[in-house]
Amino acid sequence: MEPGNITQVPKFLLLGFSDEPELQPLIFGLFLSMFLITVLGNLLIILAVGSDSHLHTPMYFFLSNLSFVDICFTSTTVPKMLLNIQTQSKVITYEDCITQMNFFLVFSGMDNFLLAVMAYDRFVAICHPLHYMVIMNPRLCGRLVLVSWVTSVLHSLLQTSVVLRLSFCTEVEIPHFFCELNQMIQLACSDTFLNNLVMYLAAMLLGCGLLAGILYSYSKIVSTIIRISSAQGKYKAFSTCASHLSVVALFYCTSLGVYLSSAATQSSHSDATASVMYTVITPMLNPFIYSLRNKDIKRALKRIIGVPVM
């Protein structure tokens, strides 16, 4: 079939990680295991927060929202990849590809916003402890999450709308395991100047802006902790934000590493492999990071599974 420009194509082909048949069962089992661990782990966090009245605080409210978003984030990409492996098909329709890209942008944006909101929550808790419950009242917490959702949805709709104006060739192979925005733009047959402009402006305003907010919050937190006189007080203050700082470092280091390495190597296959770090691995590890050193979460989880609490 001769390639030609059309507004919509009936299907795309997700090339995934490997064409070798003997590797498909291994890839299927590995990603199915990670997906189930992600869903189960984050569901347990949500149940723990919802079932324990001691966890009805701003910090755990934002954590339960992050767990919900992580479930949705992973569910946007992995099930379709597992289905394609199981059916030995690489096909995804144009409509499904656009929908997948849209929801991926929504939930990845929400991850960024929630991490920034949680950094602000820790900043208020450590730098203004006497006014914490007044500042971080339920109304403000609800508004912060609502604004995060609205902004993420609007950003996703903006990116999707400029992708919809693109024309694609008749045979479109996506060297990835999901319909990623940058890959879609690169594969277009029409002019992509506007798409690249919108994508990079959004990355600067949202991604870099939120990261700057997180770094500013932690700079204030560190300066406050340094001024605490007792070693026990310093440890207690730092332990309240250690889990969140670990998640922030994991998410941003892996996502930035993907895009920096892709810019250096220009290898699409390497991009797909590296993207697993922040699209699958990070959401899977978040429940473990937040629960392993958190006595309140561990106590609530023990109640859920029926283990006696001492």
User: Considering the domain boundaries, does residue 115 fall inside one?
Assistant: yes
pLDDT of residue 267: 53
Give this prediction's pTM.
0.90
pLDDT of residue 252: 84
User: Considering the domain boundaries, does residue 3 fall inside one?
Assistant: no
pLDDT of residue 3: 46
- Looking up residue 230, the CATH number of its domain turns out to be 1.20.1070.10
249-252: long-range contacts, CB 8 A cutoff, minimum separation 24: 250/282, 250/285, 250/289, 251/111, 251/115, 251/278, 251/282, 252/211
User: Considering the domain boundaries, does residue 209 fall inside one?
Assistant: yes
User: Considering the domain boundaries, does residue 18 fall inside one?
Assistant: yes
pLDDT of residue 135: 94
Q: How far apart are CA 277 and CA 67, in angstroms?
A: 17
Report, as ranges of residue numbers, the positions in the chain whose pLDDT lies below 50.
1-7
Q: Could you please report the per-residue DSSP string of 58-90?
A: HHHHHHHHHHHHHHHHHHTTHHHHHHHHHHT--
Residue 198 structure tokens: 């919108």
Residues 13-54: tens digit of each pLDDT? 888 887 787 888 999 999 999 999 999 999 999 999 998 888
Residue 113: which residues within 8 A CB-CB, separation 6 or more? 147, 148, 151, 152, 210
Q: Structural domain of residue 225, as residue ranges?
A: 11-290
Altogether, the residues listed in the chain come to a count of 310
User: Considering the domain boundaries, does residue 308 fall inside one?
Assistant: no
Domains of the chain: total: 1
